[in-house]
Structure 1
Amino acid sequence: MARKQSDYLAALLADEAVQTKAEPGDSSVMEDTPPPAPPRPDRMRGTTLLGRESALARVASGEVRQVTQLLLDPARVRVWKGNARSYEHLSEESCGELIDSIIAEGGQKVPAMVRRVDGDPDHEFEVIAGTRRHWSISWLRANSYPEMQFVAQVVVLDDEAAFRLADLENRARKDVSDLERARNYAQALHDHYGNHMSRMAERLKLSKGWLSKMLKVASIPDAVLAAFASPADVQLKPAYPLAQALDDRSATPAILREARTITRQQEERRARGTPALGANEVIARLLAAPKVAEERTAPRTYEGAHGRTAITVQSSNRQGVTLRLHAGSGVDTRRLLEIVHDALMDLEESGLGLQR
């Protein structure tokens, strides 16, 4: 048989009607038989065949699989701890556009990625990718839209593959802060890659240099991060020099002291309802703290008559203040006491006085 297999498949898949030839004189058959459809051009027939053969081949190879989407109660779905996004920092404000979109479209259109969980009586699935969608549907169900369902696609992934999937989605999300991603990478480095940064960079298709900087930012302690109005303010480029400065053990105490001061100021601003200190100002103050502390601890001198030194502040610490009164300053005792008072007041204003 000389016909090609494609021609044979074309004949099987063709949608043309099969006509029955009428016997001579049998008019009823001719009247009941619909007119034959016009023959399909060979060019069109080949195109259709190629499209169908391609689709069948993709299904057979596993490249294309049937995808089932589930409608879930978000209360029965937990968020996977390996996701970078900080669920507790999501809010109506941060998810506002997504909430409005879900309402306008009559429901969630883009499914989240979830996987099944075992041994948890309260949850059947956990979110791998789609944390904001989960939060938004949960919020809507609690606020006038109880019929809203969480649309999800079930995937079968191990933890490392789940991490890579979540990371790919988060890279395209501007609302995932560099700090969130950095700490997520630091945890994943330990959990999935045996602390081998090169292997992790290769698996994620990331630059080793860039990944190294992210991991460095992840090392910034919570006491310093508390000085920022929000974790979202901590971005890679400005935060990296701060993380490097914290490697200097002699500079760390001054940075931590300044961080505590800024944290108190941020709390006071929130209480008053005034705008928080911006990230650039916070980072500038933290980086300058070691130098400022060095200047504060340097000996200070106060002059008497004719430019002569009257008093030197030799030290100021938690144990007390040490002053040296110089002979031959050319001032009397009353003026000398006034200079002592000025020195003590300067120390108080700089945070190094007796009342700290």
Structure 2
Amino acid sequence: MARKQSDYLAALLSEDSDAVSTAADAPATMQADRGDRARGTTLLGRESALARVASGEVRQVTQLLLDPARVRVWPGNARSYAHLSEETCRELIDSLIAEGGQKVPAVVRRVEGDPVHDYEVIAGTRRHWAISWLRAHSYPDMQFVAQVAQIDDEAAFRLADIENRARSDVSDLERARNYAEALKAHYGNHLTRMAERLKLSKGWLSKMLKVAALPEAVIAAFASPAEVQLKPGYALAQALDDKDKAVAIRKEAARLSREQTSRRDERRPALPAPDVLKALMAAPEANSAKPQPLVMNLQRTGRPLVSLQSSNRQGVTLRLHAGSGADIEDVLNGVRNILVTLDAEGRGLQP
């Protein structure tokens, strides 16, 4: 990864230079002449390089030792900083301890108008987290090593993306959502342009963006968003395009989400992702029969209190049953329970 990052930065900050060659067996006079020419070329090259830097054609890169507390994480990166932990960074932490510090620099850029931070991390989020953790756990002298680059948001996104492609702990869903945000922020919603800039297949990128659109109510059926992978996630997103199937999938997702919550509260193992996906995809078939009417009964009498008559784009129609023995508070609770159920199934009142 370090080599890819270095290659990328080299391309981003490249400058042409003249090659100077010498031959060991050349006559001394020729070597002297060549040395004079080389020194002249070097001086000209330096003047040219300085001129190009001054004009903005070439952007300088500086490496610094930083206090990670003065460095924030750029929000355009796909990696979720909040989900990093000692467990997920254990290998990196051990490596930093064994090597006596950080050997591969991160890439940062200077920020303005932030009294708390001087820089933000473009590539190297895990290194920032690990150094911060070490400084808080018996290694207060650890420094965050970073290259300071002057790059715009689009170039920063491409650089962060290159680093994240080699990281297995950046989930497909995280990357997909990052691509969806970048498509609007950096590429004016032009998919072809984005694919060309990232050197990605347009078809593959289209699938990632499809996965990014999965609703949170469906994602909640999984133990963690990180379990949503590209291939099954794309199939699930396609199924949700069918309105009839979507109702059944959302209803099953609500049930699975409650089950996952119950398992977490009881410290039981979560439902595995393959089982969750299988249940979601099978939901339309299981609910192909005419659905049972949605009715809320008054618990103390067992009589119908509120029932659903219809739910569509025009609104929700409910029937309040007479003779249930309910008071106003009972009726309001019944209406609320039906609306909550409809919302979980994706059939509720849409804003």
- Structure 2 CA distance, aligned partners of 1:92 and 1:237? 29
1:167 to 147, 161, 165: 161
Check whether the contact 1:58–1:64 (CA below 8 A) recurs between aligned residues: no
- 1:302 match: none
The amino acid across from 2:294 in the alignment is N
TM-score normalised per structure 1: 0.68
Give identity over the alignment, percent. Answer: 65
- Structure 2 CA distance, aligned partners of 1:151 and 1:93? 22
SS in 2 for 1:152: strand
Cα drift, residue 41 of structure 1 = 4.4
Change in CA separation of 1:290 and 1:125 when aligned onto 2, cut-off 3 Å: same
Check whether the contact 2:60–2:149 (CA below 8 A) recurs between aligned residues: no
The amino acid across from 1:155 in the alignment is A
The amino acid across from 2:158 in the alignment is R
1:252 to 233, 246, 251: 246
Written as runs of structure 1 = structure 2, the 5 A alignment for 1:296-307 is 297=290
- 1:202 match: 196
- 1:317 match: 294
Change in CA separation of 1:318 and 1:56 when aligned onto 2, cut-off 3 Å: farther
Cα drift, residue 119 of structure 1 = 0.9
Cα drift, residue 316 of structure 1 = 3.2
Change in CA separation of 1:43 and 1:218 when aligned onto 2, cut-off 3 Å: farther
SS in 2 for 1:183: helix
| Higher alpha-carbon Rg | 1
The amino acid across from 2:222 in the alignment is F
Cα drift, residue 52 of structure 1 = 9.3
Change in CA separation of 1:239 and 1:133 when aligned onto 2, cut-off 3 Å: same
Structure 2 unaligned blocks of 5 or more: 1-19, 298-303, 308-340, 342-351
- 1:233 match: 227
Check whether the contact 2:59–2:149 (CA below 8 A) recurs between aligned residues: no
- Structure 1 CA distance, aligned partners of 2:275 and 2:39? 62
2:67 to 62, 73, 89: 73
- 1:224 match: 218
Q: Which has the higher contact order (CA 8 A, sep 6+)?
A: 2
SS in 1 for 2:254: helix
Check whether the contact 1:69–1:152 (CA below 8 A) recurs between aligned residues: yes
Check whether the contact 2:179–2:209 (CA below 8 A) recurs between aligned residues: yes
- Structure 2 CA distance, aligned partners of 1:237 and 1:137? 35
Cα drift, residue 268 of structure 1 = 2.1
Cα drift, residue 317 of structure 1 = 2.3
- 1:20 match: none
Moved more, 233-242 or 262-271: 262-271
Deviations 1:239-261 (A, max 9, x none): 11001111112222221121121
- 2:319 match: none
Change in CA separation of 1:52 and 1:203 when aligned onto 2, cut-off 3 Å: farther
Aligned length: 270
Structure 1 unaligned blocks of 5 or more: 1-8, 15-39, 299-314, 323-351
Cα drift, residue 55 of structure 1 = 8.6
- Structure 2 CA distance, aligned partners of 1:277 and 1:56? 67
Q: CA RMSD in A?
A: 3.3
Change in CA separation of 1:117 and 1:220 when aligned onto 2, cut-off 3 Å: same
Check whether the contact 1:76–1:124 (CA below 8 A) recurs between aligned residues: yes
Check whether the contact 1:229–1:279 (CA below 8 A) recurs between aligned residues: yes
The amino acid across from 1:259 in the alignment is A
Moved more, 272-281 or 76-85: 272-281
Check whether the contact 2:73–2:122 (CA below 8 A) recurs between aligned residues: yes
Written as runs of structure 1 = structure 2, the 5 A alignment for 1:272-291 is 272-291=266-285
Moved more, 108-117 or 165-174: 165-174
Change in CA separation of 1:218 and 1:65 when aligned onto 2, cut-off 3 Å: closer
